[in-house]
A and B are shown apart, each in its own frame.
Chain A
Amino acid sequence: MVNPMMPTDPAAPPYASTQSVARLIAAEIRDHLWPWSRSGFQRQRAVQAAGLALALAASVAWVLAALGQLQAGAVIGWWFGWSVFEVVVRLGSKPYVKDGPWWGRRYRVANTMDMVCYVGFKNLLIGATLFIGLKSLGFLVI
């Protein structure tokens, strides 16, 4: 039976039932930063592996930017490209998002738009922090 009280069906990430708040926060931080999962790899090995390679390339792009060897536009391009792929990766490996208050424990199945919104928002925050940080330190020059 459909539960209309949530926008999609409820989901339960492996760490959802942990009693320790610290463990929950640590698991959520890991979830935000690490889009892959064992089950994802088992289901779509090629996509997940390609995602891993692309993430590595995007990380190298940030490192090059931090060394002052990459223009701002190139970093933004890499980050955007990776973000698009992260949506695909997550839909295969961690297809859930949080519902309701961020401090709560309600999770639900993510549809494509939910995942686009989640990855877009998360990577905007991460990208903006790195971009502004590198720019204020003088590594990125516009």
Chain B
Amino acid sequence: MKFLAAFRNTLLSLVLLATAPLALGDAYEAKLPDEINTAPELCKYVSCGDVLPGATVFSERKGQPRYVEGYAEENGQRKLIGYVMLSTDITDTPAYSGKPVITLIGMDTGGRFVGVKILKHSEPILLLGIPESALIRFNQQYIGQFVGNNIEIGQSRPEESIIGLDAISGATVTVIAQNQVMMTSGTAVARQVGILKPTIREQAKFVETGTKPDWATLVKDGSVKRLVVKPEQVGLPRGDTLFIDLWFGYLNQPDVGRAILGDAAYRNLMSRLHEGEHALFVIRSGGVESFKGSGFVRGGIYDRVQVRQGGDSFTFRDLDSSNLYGIEAAGAPAFNESAIFIVRSKAFSAAYPWKFVFLGNRVDRATGARSFTNFDTEYWLSAAYLQGGRPKVVKPDAPWVKVWKARAVEIGLFAALLVAVAVVYAFRDALTRRATRKNKWPVNAFKYSAWVVSIGFVGFGLMAQPSITQVLTWFHAMLFHWTWELFLTDPFIFLFWIFIIVTTFVWGRGLFCGWLCPFGSLSELLYKVGAAVGLKRFQFQLPRKWHDRLKWVKYGVFFGLLAVSFFSMGLAEKLAEVEPFKTTFLVGLFNRSWPYTLFAAGLLGLSIFTERPFCKYLCPLGASLAMPSTFRWFGLKRKQECNSCKACAVVCGSQAIDENGRIDHRECLHCLDCMVLYADSHACPPLSQERKRRTKAGLPLTPIGANGYFIPIKPVPARAEALAPKN
């Protein structure tokens, strides 16, 4: 009993130690002033000088998307030295948490990044485990880089002019999102201020048929498009009235232009356009919001609408717009606001797809804070209106596609591992029949191989250790901003979870927990190695009474984390440090502060003496998977005699077989030791008894059937001809 008390106290101490010193990051869920998103004087609320060294004076926000100019004062004169941008003014790209990493970025007049500062993030992995300084160090890699460079996460590929940045191990999704934020923000401002030249596109050559399609036809062939924003999309209460309902279309195409404007107005408009200028119309047929904006003043910029093509943005000043009094096309909806906008740039071409963008603010209903958001609809003239049809457009791969392509070999190997383990387990009957109590290698060869690959390749190599934090993050993402791309960006975790979900329902959690969980594998491997090196006499199992009590602790941990996550995801993420996975695989035992290292090392050390203590008593992930394991389709086999025979229960390392011989599939880790006994005629008492009986009676030993018994010998009546005397 002294030992039990010591064991319990040790566990308790380790848990307390692990959760006590919480090294909080400065920017995690930092409270930022509400004005940061809306105030013209951005630099009054954030320290712009930190990201644009040397600048002492800053302009108000300007441009679309917005940025700030930074000036240095020399000899009493101001000199423009660069630009400062708030990432959320330009893009709302979410990171792994489903929320954006709000970043302040400085760029000099030559287009080189000169400063990056994280103002706020909600990334759970950076809360504990990986220090926030890792993201700061990651961002430092941008300093000195030209914004027009092709910068990606991973290795540099000079032959493709790609500059690679070192990722943060264990936070791949976060840094991929951050790279997108940096490059999108930088290029948007660099193009506006002329650092990056716009892409010159070949101008469209139109087919003129002389027809005048009606409104319905124009909508059907895509010559007129609609952009709808609902109030709830901008954080307002849901209602019957739309926030804004816009129709727009391209007018230079003669058939479309004449259909919309009528012949005379079309000719008049075209006569006013110069080469490389393009007209498009916009009408508001519904909604309460103006697309021109109530704050628009003569000489100013329309700050609610914009055209984007590729990386180029086109905004409109008052001189770029004219009145649109009516629409000629039959069937056009009534409208209460209208305009013709002129794109004055050769970079724009109607031959290629473009987007009409409505720029808005989303109000957080909980805090009242406003944040930037935009809504767009893609437009591409029908091939019938273009000479030679639509040109071929190669769209760049999405970030997650790039990751899958870049790591195709590893992904293939990992998928092969998952399939191989599932196939091996599916053939467990055949393997356990080949094995005996004294020679379990037909099973263990596969299981031990899976452990070694899981620890080395999956755990330390790919860092694909599933964790309860992922479950909590999904919950968070589901509430705030679910995007499949985010989860696809980490292909190993994505594939692993598909495997876990499928196999848990087919066989129970044991296949993952017992064969493929990197930490579980490491834990049991240490136990086996301990036995092999002579520590077997010190190895022990907890008495059944204590095991039956302590096994509920992991469910308590899981429900505790789940309950806390309802109120505070941040706190739940901190408490999830009860999992030693980050310390062991993601960050490294020697790269964390001592309580974490002590906790993880303590659990691993204890694993040498007792089998999988963490898996049996503490693991919240195991508990969350154990619950659906109640309803696994195919469990392990039992015989009626198992109710009185204790042979399997004695060898069950996970102590999942009770005094009645029943298997608790929530606790079973699929070691298959009981299944080896089940078919071993020298170890399974009912089989052994039958074997001895048959041997004594001189009866043949038939193979073991699927029910775990010798196939019965059924006397067959001899056929008459066989009995007939032979001549």
| Interface residues in chain A, defined as those with a beta carbon under 8 Å from any beta carbon in chain B | 1-8, 68, 72-73, 76-77, 80, 97-98, 100-102, 113-114, 116-118, 120-121, 128, 131-132, 138-139, 141-142
Contact = CB atoms under 8 A, between A and B. Distances in A.
Contacts of A100: 633-635
Contacts of B627: 116-117, 120-121
B642 A4 contact: yes
Contact of A68 (B237, B478, B638, B666): B237
A80 B566 CA distance: 11
A72 B475 CA distance: 13
A105 B636 CA distance: 18
Nearest to A73: B566
A6 B237 CA distance: 52
Contacts of B478: 128, 131-132
Given A100-B635, A141-B365, A7 B566 contact: no
B480 interface: yes
B483 interface: no
A76 B630 contact: no
A73 B631 CA distance: 29
A121 B631 CA distance: 10
Contact of B662 (A4, A116, A117): A4
B230 A142 contact: no
A99 to B, nearest CB: 8
Contacts of B664: 7
A8 B631 CA distance: 13
Given A101-B633, A118-B630, A138 B643 contact: no
Q: A-B pairs with the 8 shortest C-beta distances?
A: A4-B661, A117-B630, A4-B642, A138-B232, A117-B627, A2-B660, A101-B633, A4-B638
Contacts of A139: 238
22 contacts: A4-B661, A4-B663, A5-B638, A5-B642, A7-B663, A7-B665, A8-B662, A68-B237, A72-B479, A80-B566, A97-B630, A97-B631, A100-B635, A101-B634, A114-B630, A117-B628, A118-B630, A121-B627, A121-B628, A138-B233, A141-B365, A142-B365
B238 A3 contact: no
A92 B238 CA distance: 42
Nearest to B632: A100
Contacts of B660: 2, 4
A4 to B, nearest CB: 4
A101 B369 CA distance: 50
Nearest to A6: B662
A3 B663 CA distance: 11
B479 A142 contact: yes
A2 B661 contact: yes
B654 to A, nearest CB: 15
Interface in B661-679: 661-666
B662 A102 contact: no
A73 B661 CA distance: 44
B665 A118 contact: no
B92 to A, nearest CB: 15
A25 B252 CA distance: 61
Contacts of A68: 237-238
A114 B666 CA distance: 10
A5 B640 contact: yes
A2 B566 contact: no
Nearest to B637: A5
Given A5-B639, A100-B635, 18 more contacts: A2-B643, A3-B643, A4-B640, A4-B662, A7-B635, A7-B665, A97-B631, A98-B631, A100-B633, A100-B634, A102-B633, A113-B630, A117-B628, A118-B631, A138-B230, A138-B232, A138-B238, A142-B480
B75 to A, nearest CB: 54
Contacts of A116: 627
A97 B628 CA distance: 12
A64 B627 CA distance: 31
B53 interface: no
Contact of A141 (B232, B630, B638): B232
Interface string B554-598: 000000000000100000000000000000000000000000000
Nearest to A116: B627
Interface centre among A68, A116, A117 (most CB of B within 10 A): A117
Contacts of B365: 141-142
Nearest to A128: B478
A77 B562 CA distance: 12
Nearest to A103: B633
A118 B628 CA distance: 8
Nearest to B707: A5
A114 B630 CA distance: 7
Contacts of A77: 566
A113 B119 CA distance: 45
A138 B228 CA distance: 14
A5 B232 CA distance: 54
A109 B630 CA distance: 13
B605 interface: no
B235 interface: yes
Given A4-B640, A142-B479, A117 B238 contact: no
B507 to A, nearest CB: 12
B638 A76 contact: no
B643 A4 contact: yes
B309 to A, nearest CB: 30
